[in-house]
A = this chain, B = another copy of it.
Amino acid sequence: MFGEKIEDRVNHPLIKPQIDVIGLTYEMAQNPRYEELTTAKSHLTGEKVNRFTHIHQNTDDLIKKVQMTRMYARYCLCIQRCMAIDALNALSIITYEIDKKHKTNYFENLNNYVRFFQKEDIAATCAMTDVKGDRSLRPADQADKDLYVRVVEKREDGIVVRGAKAHTTAAVPSNEIIVMPTRALRDKDENYAVAFAVPVDAPGLKFIARSTVPREMGKMDAPFRTRWGVTETVTIFDDVFVPWDRVFMCGEWEFGGLAAELFAIYHRHSYCGCKPGVSDVLMGVAALLAEYNNVEGASHIQGKLTGIACTAEEIYACGIAGSVRGKPMGPGTYVPDITLVNIGKYIAGTHIYEEIYRVHDIAGGLAITCPSEKDYFHPEVKPYLEKYLKGKTDVPTEDRVRAFKLCEDLTAHGFAGWIMVASCHGGGSPEAQMITIYRGYDFKKRKEIAKCLAGIKKFEEFPEFEG
């Protein structure tokens, strides 16, 4: 992180705000008000567990996950524990299916790991996206064979892996890292078909991190970034050893695509919860500034606020409906509807920019020109700013300035960049969603409908409604 080595990650000023995010997930799980959302009953042990460690057993679990995620996102925008739950659910199906075909015992490994995970309420992340090198080439075809994480040695007691994952969002505050393949593989990519879990202090595992927390800003200037943080890491696997009981896939290349797709479905499902929460905050800021500027009555202001609300609820509707239409796979793990969660994520990733536009449009220029906290409280300067930054009469100038500062913090600096790019590329790019939708959608049936209506086929052959 900026050329320094971190020894004490918990108290490092650039990391602590992220630890606090994770802390929220323990705190809220104790809160009786949110118990139903934040906890679940383990299908393995029957114990009450943090929902972030749960394997979805029915559509209600899927709905609650979306709701919980939105609830958390209203506090901190990115709750960061979704990667692990999404990976574990995907692995619960993949390991089951691999075992069925290959008589391996990954599913038992996974269940044991989940038991440990639930009991200890482990905070983990999933390192998914490889660094990829030349993006036009597949893993085994890269000039440097390490540009996708791969198995370099199989030993009696375990495997040794090498490579790097990029954009690992919550490695720094985690206990564990779960690793999965990032794409469909061919037989010659066999060594790249590997899934496993390691503790963050595994020898050879290295994190090159960066944080959204600003080094030297006050709480008024950066009220959000000083409270909550995110780190991103390039995660290096410098010949990391993984014992067999923590391996969930090793060489079964034909499952690479499904693994990547299942994680993507679950993670896009997560976005259907968190992104509406982000919008809740953005529209809150915008509505507050509209009030403070006394322009709430203007119809274009109302239209722009409503526009943000619509984006939020469209995404959320995809999450809820995608949950309702969920189906069990493998051992009975519920998977949300692939089309709907992809649409939800697609809207999330492409509309965040328009939401920020709407916030800026409503806020006005002070969103980026409001003087700094140090200026504001400077004894010579304050009287001028108190006087001239006054908005609506009954609103203290300082409140208005604080609202503008939150607006700026969220939409005009590093966190804005992070939330835009994370919304766009997290869980896969918009194009990935479009392709997934195209491939999974039943256009054939629609063509049959057209044939019947056009008189090309008999009307009696009208295809059935799928429900």
Contact = CB atoms under 8 A, between A and B. Distances in A.
Contacts of A343: 310, 313-314, 317
A339 B368 contact: no
Contacts of A216: 215
What are the 6 closest A-B residue pairs judged by CB atoms, nearest first? A412-B417, A3-B374, A284-B446, A284-B450, A406-B454, A320-B321
Contacts of A306: 434, 437-438, 441
Contacts of A402: 454-456
Q: Is the interface of A mostly helix, strand, loop or mixed?
A: helix
Given A343-B313, A371-B234, A416-B412, A389 B131 contact: yes
A424 interface: yes
Given A234-B371, A320-B320, A353-B354, 7 more contacts: A223-B453, A288-B450, A306-B438, A310-B343, A314-B347, A360-B425, A406-B454
A98 interface: no
A133 interface: yes
Given A353-B357, A421-B367, A300 B431 contact: yes
Interface string A282-320: 011101100101110111101101100110011011111
A420 B356 contact: yes
Contacts of A146: 387-388
Contacts of A357: 350, 353, 420, 424
A385 interface: yes
A25 interface: no
Contacts of A143: 393
A122 interface: no
A312 to B, nearest CB: 9
Contact of A449 (B74, B317, B356): B74
Interface string A424-467: 11100111001001100101011111110111100000101101
Contact of A430 (B318, B361, B374, B381): B361
Contacts of A392: 134
A45 interface: no
Contact of A390 (B33, B133, B443): B133
Contact of A1 (B34, B285, B375): B375
A224 interface: yes
A236 interface: yes
Interface string A12-47: 000000000000000000000110010000000000
Interface string A208-245: 11100001100110011001000010101010000000
Contact of A75 (B1, B208, B353, B462): B462
Interface string A136-158: 11000001101100000000000
Nearest to A377: B3
Contacts of A321: 316-321, 324
A321 to B, nearest CB: 4
A144 B387 contact: yes
